[in-house]
Amino acid sequence: MNSQRTMPILPVEAYTSQEWFDLEQERIFSRTWAFAGLAEDIDEPGQYTSVQAGLNNIFIVMGRDRRLRAFHNICRHRGTQLLRAVGNTQRAIVCPYHDWTYDLEGNLLSVPNQEREFPNLDMSCLGLKQASVDRWRGMLWVHPDENAGSIMDWFGAVEPHLGPHDVDRLIEYKDGRTEHEIAANWKIVVENYIDGYHLAHLHAGTLAMYDHARIESGFVGPHFAFYEPLAPEFAENLAENTPSPLVIPPDRVGAWVPMLFPGIGLGETESSWSVFHVTPLAPDRTRVVTRSKVADASLWDFVWQSFRSYGFWARRIGGKFEGDASDPMASGDFMAEDIYACEQQQRSLQSPYFEHGPSSAKGETGVRQHQELVQEWVGRP
Ligand code: FES
Ligand SMILES: [Fe+2]
């Protein structure tokens, strides 16, 4: 990729038009591995969860043999969605429309009034269409193609650049889940996530405990890897400064904040682990769900304060942080700051006076590379 370019790559329409949105749904989100939850979401036969992967709704269900299987959430009769959200189906999957019934392995088991209504039905050809499912780093993943191959073909190269966290052993604090609908295109949200240039500015008061001058980042295949160490003044008195038990060895403290293509961010820090799941809803609307894990869920409030509101850290080392929770730019919450910036950018794209300005040589390299990647996948200039 040409990382020397210092102008943005994608046109304004890429962030505003339905045409681009539709192409991305078809060519990116329907052809890649999609985050479908944490591994512990499904741990007994009959439990299921469903997820939108581009144009496909897919559910994962655990069979009686305790194997995970993924199916397209489409009844083989007239296409009604079979399962919604998360739950437990016990032994069978029953379509709500005409009660066609499938087993947990996807075979069609029964059709009401079969002899009268469908006298020559070959039920063996009417099993559910399979998708692919896998577990990786404590997460569940699905791919619409049943022959998607190994998930390590997709994530293997970036894995050494992620944090040393043992995600399966950490504990989710359920009340820590957040869900935001952001009035911005999904690429603005993702580009903000991988923009190293804004960290010392937009988040001057909230992310100051990391050493932004020592960021190590770059693309590994389609995935963006990012690491920055704690600033020396925080690292020195770590035992005093850190609000909760470390989840990684003390000699490796810092933050790994990769963005896995297309739109699955991780926030892997010394005291917590989070997933930041981006789902495009419309050209100017994006859902972001975060789920977080820590070493000890009873200390959650303490960890959450530190994770979301790094004004906490500033106060802790005697800084003068004074936040106003009602103002996103002074709330001490870095996510509120990011959402504010993303929504303002999206709004400006509508103005006839908007034109892309120059892009910074180092801090915004990842942003340009992400745009090149999207352009390649979509196949449009
Ligand atoms: S659509 Fe499912 S049973 Fe008719
Ligand atoms: Fe940010």
15 touches ligand 1 (CB under 6 Å)? no
- Where is the domain boundary, 147, 171, 186? 147
Residues 226 and 368 in one domain: yes
Residues 47 and 74 in one domain: yes
What is the mean pLDDT of the segment spanning 148-167? Answer: 96
Q: How many CB atoms lie within 10 A of CB 23?
A: 17
User: 25 lies in a domain?
Assistant: no
- Where is the domain boundary, 94, 124, 147? 147
∠ CA(39), CA(146), CA(221), 5° rounding?
Answer: 70
Question: How many Å apart are CA 87 and CA 104, to the nearest integer?
Answer: 13
Least confident of 82-86, 126-130, 319-323: 319-323
Ligand 1: which atom is nearest the Cα of residue 95?
A: 2
128 touches ligand 1 (CB under 6 Å)? no
pLDDT for res 258? 97
pLDDT tens by residue, 32-83: 999 999 999 999 999 999 999 999 999 999 999 999 999 999 999 999 999 9
How far is the centre of ligand 1, averaged over its atoms, from the C-alpha of 84 (Å)?
A: 15
How far is the centre of ligand 2, averaged over its atoms, from the C-alpha of 146 (Å)?
A: 36
pLDDT tens by residue, 74-106: 999 999 999 988 888 778 999 999 999 999 999
Confidence grade of residue 310 (pLDDT, cut at 50, 70, 90):
very low
How far is the centre of ligand 2, averaged over its atoms, from the C-alpha of 279 (Å)?
A: 18
100 touches ligand 1 (CB under 6 Å)? yes
pLDDT for res 317? 45
Residues 83 and 184 in one domain: no
Q: Which ligand is nearest to the CA of 111?
A: 1
Ligand 1: which atom is nearest the Cα of residue 76?
A: 2
Strands 108-110 and 101-103: antiparallel
Residues 167 and 58 in one domain: no
75 touches ligand 1 (CB under 6 Å)? yes
77 touches ligand 1 (CB under 6 Å)? yes
Which CA distances in Å does 136 have to 38, 87, 274, 306? 10, 22, 14, 27
Residues 82 and 114 in one domain: yes
Mutate to test the pocket of ligand 1, among 72, 93, 100 (most ligand atoms within 8 A of CB): 100
Ligand 1 atom 4: residue of nearest CA: 98
Question: How many Å apart are CA 91 and CA 130, to the nearest integer?
Answer: 18
User: 82 lies in a domain?
Assistant: yes
Residues 294 and 229 in one domain: yes
Mutate to test the pocket of ligand 1, among 72, 97, 113 (most ligand atoms within 8 A of CB): 97
How far is the centre of ligand 2, averaged over its atoms, from the C-alpha of 351 (Å)?
A: 24
User: Do the beta carbons of residue 290 and residue 178 sit within 8 Å?
Assistant: yes
Residue 249 pLDDT exceeds 70 = yes
**What's the CATH number where 140 sits?**
2.102.10.10
Of the two residues 329 and 351, the one the predictor is more confident about is 351
What lies within 8 Å, CB to CB, of 93 at 6+ separation is: 61, 82, 83, 101, 102, 103, 104, 128
* Secondary element (H or E) of residue 378: helix 365-378
Ligand 1 atom 3: residue of nearest CA: 98
User: 279 lies in a domain?
Assistant: yes
* Domain count within the chain: 2
Residues 247 and 218 in one domain: yes
Of the two residues 208 and 285, the one the predictor is more confident about is 285
The verdict on whether omega for the bond into residue 262 sits within 30 degrees of 0, i.e. cis, is: yes
User: 8 lies in a domain?
Assistant: no
Cross-strand partners of 268: 256, 273
User: 174 lies in a domain?
Assistant: yes
> In the chain, how many H helices and how many E strands?
11, 19
- Where is the domain boundary, 147, 172, 188? 147
Percentage of the chain lying above the pLDDT 70 cut: 87
Question: How many Å apart are CA 272 and CA 171, to the nearest integer?
Answer: 10
Residue 312 pLDDT exceeds 80 = no
How far is the centre of ligand 2, averaged over its atoms, from the C-alpha of 189 (Å)?
A: 9
Q: pTM of the predicted model, to two decimals?
A: 0.91
78 touches ligand 1 (CB under 6 Å)? yes
Residues 198 and 277 in one domain: yes
315 touches ligand 1 (CB under 6 Å)? no
What lies within 8 Å, CB to CB, of 54 at 6+ separation is: 25, 26, 28, 29, 30, 31, 34, 144
User: 124 lies in a domain?
Assistant: yes
Least confident of 24-28, 71-75, 236-240, 251-255: 236-240
User: Do the beta carbons of residue 51 and residue 41 sit within 8 Å?
Assistant: no
Confidence grade of residue 4 (pLDDT, cut at 50, 70, 90):
very low
Ligand 1 atom 1: residue of nearest CA: 78
What mean pLDDT value characterizes the chain?
Answer: 88
What range does the domain containing 61 cover?
Answer: 34-147
pLDDT tens by residue, 20-32: 999 999 999 999 9
Confidence grade of residue 318 (pLDDT, cut at 50, 70, 90):
very low
pLDDT for res 98? 97
User: 222 lies in a domain?
Assistant: yes
Mapped onto helix, strand or coil, the DSSP state of residue 280 is strand
Max Cα-Cα span within the chain: 80
112 touches ligand 1 (CB under 6 Å)? no
Residues 322 and 182 in one domain: yes
**What's the CATH number where 274 sits?**
3.90.380.10
Exposed (0-12), middle (13-18) or buried (19+): which is 375, by Cβ within 10 Å?
Answer: middle
95 touches ligand 1 (CB under 6 Å)? yes
Residues 48 and 114 in one domain: yes
Residues 58 and 108 in one domain: yes
User: 2 lies in a domain?
Assistant: no
Residues 236 and 291 in one domain: yes
Mutate to test the pocket of ligand 1, among 74, 95, 101 (most ligand atoms within 8 A of CB): 95
Of the two residues 241 and 288, the one the predictor is more confident about is 288
pLDDT for res 320? 41
